[in-house]
């Protein structure tokens, strides 16, 4: 059976994309193959990571498309024309509409840098999540990989991993620890789990 064709959507540095590329190289992801990377930010370093790994890398911005609906139409058209079967949001900082999430129902996953439902939903992204965790004073935080539906950070949880918070942490230090000890581990794992599920579903259809 062919591997599941994966697209990774990014907006920034792409360390999670780097972890996915590495996991595919090591065989941790063996049921899927990263075929396409799309950034909604011009010049995102994630694009360089994709190109260095020989993966097709494209940029699609909302400004160029004119509206959220046209932006999503462009994404849908690219994902469909590339035969993409699984979409991974890896630091993708744009909320997708119900129309988009329904188009790829149970085929979009996202990594979030907290233990959902804490510090999640609209307005909680990137460093802000860690600022909020430190402000609240939690002693344990972590990361979550979940399916994406129309509710921001509201889809079914696939994997979570906890990380200790230290008294001396700054948001940047905590962000790095959560990435290293949680995100870069559970995102590739979840990617393999979902790819495997999709292969099994495909084989039942044959």
The two three-digit tokens of residue 102, written as one number: 């329904």
Task: DSSP letter for 182, please.
Answer: I
As a whole number of angstroms, the distance between CA 124 and CA 128 comes to 6
130 classed as catalytic = no
CA angle 88, 89, 94 (to 5 degrees): 150
- Compute the chain's Rg from CA coordinates: 16
Among residues 112, 130, 146, 204, the one annotated as catalytic is: 112
Task: DSSP letter for 122, please.
Answer: T
Instruction: Between 45 and 199, name the residue whose CB sits nearer to ligand GAR.
Output: 45
Instruction: Between 65 and 152, name the residue whose CB sits nearer to ligand GAR.
Output: 152
Instruction: Between 37 and 179, name the residue whose CB sits nearer to ligand GAR.
Output: 179
Q: How far is the CB of 198 from ligand GAR (least distance, A)?
A: 23
38: phi then psi, degrees, rounded to nearest 5: -125, 130
As a whole number of angstroms, the distance between CA 63 and CA 75 comes to 14
Q: Which residues bind ligand GAR (CB under 6 A)?
A: 10, 12-16, 46, 90-91, 111-113, 125-126, 129, 179, 183
Provide the annotated active-site residues. Answer: 112
């Amino acid at each position: 059976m062919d591997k599941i064709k994966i697209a990774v959507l990014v907006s920034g540095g792409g360390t999670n994309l780097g972890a996915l590329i590495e996991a595919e190289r090591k065989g941790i992801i063996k049921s899927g193959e990263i075929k396409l990377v799309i950034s909604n930010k011009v010049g995102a370093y994630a694009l360089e990571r994709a190109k260095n790994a020989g993966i097709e890398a494209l940029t699609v911005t909302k400004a160029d498309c004119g509206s959220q609906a046209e932006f999503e139409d462009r994404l849908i058209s690219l994902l469909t024309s590339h035969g993409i079967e699984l979409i991974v949001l890896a630091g993708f900082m744009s909320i997708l509409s119900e129309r988009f999430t329904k188009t790829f129902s149970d085929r979009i996953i996202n990594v979030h840098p907290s233990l959902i439902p804490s510090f999640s939903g609209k307005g909680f992204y990137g460093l802000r999540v860690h600022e909020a965790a430190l402000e609240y004073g939690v002693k344990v935080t972590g990361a979550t990989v979940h399916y994406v539906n129309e509710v921001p950070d509201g889809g079914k949880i696939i994997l979570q991993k906890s990380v200790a918070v230290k008294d001396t942490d700054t948001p940047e230090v905590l962000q790095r620890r959560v990435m290293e000890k949680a995100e870069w581990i559970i995102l590739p794992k979840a990617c393999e789990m979902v790819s495997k599920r999709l292969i099994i579903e495909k084989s039942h259809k044959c």
